[in-house]
Amino acid sequence: MAESTLESYPPLFRQTSNTNLGVDSDEPTKQVPDSDPLPVIDLQCINQAKLSEACRDWGMFRLVNHGIPTTLLSRLHEHARKLFSFTFESKQALFTRPMAYSWGTPALTPSGEVIEKGLNLNVQNLNWMEGFFAPLGQLSQLQTQDPMLDYFRLLLEEYGIHQFRLATTIFEAMAEDLKLCLKQSKSYLSPTTGMLRAYRYPRCPEALDQACGLDVHTDSSVLSILNQDEGGLQIYKDGDWIDVKPIPNTLVINLGDMMQAISNDKYLSAKHRVKVNKHKERISICYFVFPEEDTVIKSSKYKPFTYADFRAEVQQDLKTVGFKVGLQRFRLTKAC
Ligand SMILES: O=C(O)CCC(=O)C(=O)O
Ligand SMILES: [Fe+2]
């Protein structure tokens, strides 16, 4: 696969480039085995016991038989790769509202603007990634004369419909396991909140061993669905970082903070991160879905809160303490 030119990288990703960009012939590229210990769920015949165990012990699992045409998956990746290979300046100009282009941080406002912390990015604190942001509920408002961007929008819309189908099927199986009231739980997954992000993780020079593709975090969503073409994603489980392999035609389902709260802490919001790669660029397409804005999440472990309350708290923390505190902010403390 052709790798992109440095002009397509944000400037901070170019500066140490002459140290060791490109494939280092002395160091063989590590062979990625085609399996990992992640639980596997078959969407065509969901094994409830296996799903329950995966959600409680891992907060992450691999999804097979998801029914998304392989042609759509490969077109989306190919097209995202093409758009990422545009020069940095043209990407900045091309992605207009409701879409957005950003780099160095995943911390964005609901309209895709980098949260203040992101403005002070430097080589020490940046995440070695750039991304396209697409809120599915507003994509029809995109006005563009650019056929490449317009086609990307079409692919994202088609992919988004599949993603909501998968999220709904999985959520219903979880609701059954958790014995949630079905009527109430419908509002926990709102199609209009669906958001797609395409990321590119540029090759990272050797000199920056401390660099991270994406810092350790949990997702704020109910569910996230990840689709990666190269290794780098890791999940933290029982004190170890475990590689989540890029297995073709499979997707990775990740439970977010909202799901942990909805489940009364029975399910885990998985801690994960993305490592940098010296040799290869990596593209991932990620879907995130949230509860309806005014849906109150009630549980015995947390104060009642809406996703909007949670998001506001996260944004506040990012600006003041510099990181996401997350569910801890809402946890009920036991009376002495
Ligand atoms: O790129 C990936 O595989 C993971 C992205 C991710 O964890 C996120 O956007 O929250
Ligand atoms: Fe994540």
**Does residue 79 sit within a domain?**
yes
- The minimum-distance atom of ligand 1 relative to the CA of 244 is 3
Ligand 1 probe mutation, 258, 274, 285, 324, most atoms within 8 A of CB:
274
d(CA 110, CA 97): 12
Ligand 1 binding pocket includes 214 (Cβ within 6 Å): yes
**Does residue 119 sit within a domain?**
yes
DSSP secondary structure of 100-140: EEEES---B-TTSPBPGGGGG--TTT-BS-EEEEEEGGGGG
Measured in whole angstroms, the distance separating CA 93 from the mean position of its chain's CA atoms is: 24
What pLDDT, on a 0 to 100 scale, did the predictor assign at position 34? 67
Is residue 311 a contact partner of residue 248, using CB atoms and an 8 Å limit? no
What pLDDT, on a 0 to 100 scale, did the predictor assign at position 116? 63
What pLDDT, on a 0 to 100 scale, did the predictor assign at position 33? 58
What pLDDT, on a 0 to 100 scale, did the predictor assign at position 206? 66
Q: Could you tell me the CATH number of the domain that includes residue 183?
A: 2.60.120.330
Tokens 């109910």 found at: 222
For residue 121, give the nearest of 18, 212, 202, 198 by alpha carbon. Answer: 212
Is residue 311 a contact partner of residue 304, using CB atoms and an 8 Å limit? no
d(CA 262, CA 269): 11
Residues with beta carbon < 5 A to ion ligand 2? 219
Q: What are phi and psi of 197, to 5 degrees?
A: -130, 130
**Does residue 318 sit within a domain?**
no
**Does residue 147 sit within a domain?**
yes
Residue 146 CA to ligand 1 center (angstroms) comes to 27
Is residue 83 a contact partner of residue 132, using CB atoms and an 8 Å limit? yes
What pLDDT, on a 0 to 100 scale, did the predictor assign at position 25? 37
Ligand 1 binding pocket includes 233 (Cβ within 6 Å): yes
**Does residue 137 sit within a domain?**
yes
Residue 227 CA to ligand 1 center (angstroms) comes to 9
b/e per residue 1-12 (b: at least 16 CB within 10 A): eebbebebbbee
> Could you tell me the mean pLDDT of each successive run of 10 residues in the chain, 336 residues long?
79 64 41 78 98 98 98 98 97 97 90 71 81 97 97 98 98 97 90 97 76 94 97 96 96 98 98 92 97 95 98 93 94 74
**Does residue 109 sit within a domain?**
yes
Minimal-distance CA residue to ligand 1 atom 1: 284
**Does residue 306 sit within a domain?**
no
Q: Which residues are catalytic?
A: 282
Residue 310 CA to ligand 1 center (angstroms) comes to 19
Q: Look up the domain containing 72 and give its range.
A: 6-296
Ligand 1 binding pocket includes 274 (Cβ within 6 Å): yes
**Does residue 202 sit within a domain?**
yes
Q: How many structural domains does the chain have?
A: 1
Q: What are phi and psi of 335, to 5 degrees?
A: -70, 140
Per-residue tokens: 77: 């990746």
Task: Enter the pTM of the model.
Answer: 0.93
Number of Cβ within a 10 Å radius of residue 118 = 19
Ligand 1 binding pocket includes 327 (Cβ within 6 Å): no
Q: Return the ligand number nearest the Cα of 284.
A: 1
